Amino acid sequence: QQKVQQSPESLSVPEGGMASLNCTSSDRNFQYFWWYRQHSGEGPKALMSIFSDGDKKEGRFTAHLNKASLHVSLHIRDSQPSDSALYFCAASNSNNRIFFGDGTQLVVKP
């Protein structure tokens, strides 16, 4: 069973719009969560980490974590064409094993 599930598989938003990505984990031992972003031809790059319940905001990006429901989300406001990429949710406990979801393909249309 895959430990990290993401939705939707793909998402299209207009430039300037809000993009919302979701992630649910199946392992209650997970304590640490990240969002990674991968542009074509590159490796994934960390966008945000979130380790505590609640919201974490970095510029146009806001992550929300609810450990009780094992749910983490990412919201991108004022989406730009350069935000078009594959977004991965990742989760870990404290033993170095970090697991990824299948990804959400975001397209921001000018």
Partner 1 sequence: DTTVKQNPRYKLARVGKPVNLICSQTMNHDTMYWYQKKPNQAPKLLLFYYDKILNREADTFEKFQSSRPNNSFCSLYIGSAGLEYSAMYLCASSRGRGQETLYFGSGTRLTVL
Residues that bind partner 1 in the complex, under the rule CB under 8 A? 2, 4, 31-32, 34, 36, 41-46, 49, 51, 88, 90, 92-103
| Residue 72 · residue 87 · CB < 8 Å | no
| Residue 89 · residue 78 · CB < 8 Å | no
Nearer to partner 1, 15 or 27 (CB): 27
| Lookup: tokens for 64 | 């929300």
CB of 5 to partner 1, least distance (A): 9
| Lookup: tokens for 19 | 């993009």
CB of 40 to partner 1, least distance (A): 11
CB of 16 to partner 1, least distance (A): 29
| Lookup: tokens for 59 | 């510029």
User: CA-to-CA distance for 42 and 15, rounded, in angstroms?
Assistant: 23
Nearer to partner 1, 77 or 86 (CB): 86
7 C-beta neighbours (distance < 10 Å), count: 14
CB of 72 to partner 1, least distance (A): 15
Nearer to partner 1, 77 or 100 (CB): 100
